[in-house]
Amino acid sequence: MLSGLRSLLGFGNAVERALPARQRLALDSAPAAIYAVGDVHGCLDQLLRLHETILADGADISGQKLILMLGDYVDRGPDSAETLDFLLEPLDDSFQRLCLCGNHDDMMLAHILDPQISSWLDYGGLETLASYGIDVLAYRDATLRQRKALVESHIPQSHLDFLANLPVLVTVPDAIFSHAGIRPDLPLNEQADADLMWVVHDYDASAYSGLPLVVHGHTPMPEPVVELHRICVDTGCFATGTLTAIRLQHGSEPKILAS
């Protein structure tokens, strides 16, 4: 289903050729608390509110806390550029932030590197360009050279570097984090970057039995899905106005936080 979806959207191998393989990170030990945040999609107001909620929640937790962003920071919502600005800001010393790559972040970078990969524009890309002050009607009709000039004059290099360096996977003891989840039928080291950013199927809880906890976004649900071996925290913020995070802490039940 994955390859069919990518083909339908007009990406497929074009995106994969444009971008190198992404990093996969493994943490030897889990932080005191992990706050996994679902798909932001340019909804800066909700992100700011949720950020303050997370900081308040973690204030009484000793040790290092990790805010783990699960990807899709851009597209669809109104403030993609401002969202990337915020994610580039430093945090308080007791918190760290780690941002994973979502399929929309990957598509944005692929288009900027090669504006001929243009289907991104119809899946939230125009809203993202508008957030940088680019005239989207002019951009649609622009030549490739004109598109590149508009991107260079409006999108900061720091944003492109951020998108280019997003890892696609992070593991901690007993947990796996990626944007779209994993293919439970395939060993983790055999799964392509595209699997971890794009996989879409009907999730069968029994398929995850015996696996570490898998935490992901990508598949919007009316409310977070919290199962024994899988958690989905994408609550479709751009459509519902609700951005969700889950707190994972050793010895405690998962805690849901929302904007």
CATH label of the domain that carries residue 93? 3.60.21.10
Task: Determine the structural domain holding residue 238 and report its residue range.
Answer: 2-258
**pLDDT, tens only, 199-256:** 876 677 788 888 999 999 999 999 999 999 999 999 999 999 999 999 999 989 999 9
| 3-class secondary structure, 65 | strand
DSSP assignment of 212-242? PEEEE-SS--SS-EE-SSEEE----HHHHS-
**pLDDT, tens only, 39-94:** 999 999 999 999 999 999 999 999 999 999 999 999 999 999 999 999 999 998 89
**Nearest CA among 164, 169, 121, 123 for reference residue 18:** 164
**pLDDT, tens only, 100-125:** 999 999 999 999 999 988 889 999 99
Q: How many domains does the chain have?
A: 1
Q: What is the DSSP letter of 255?
A: E
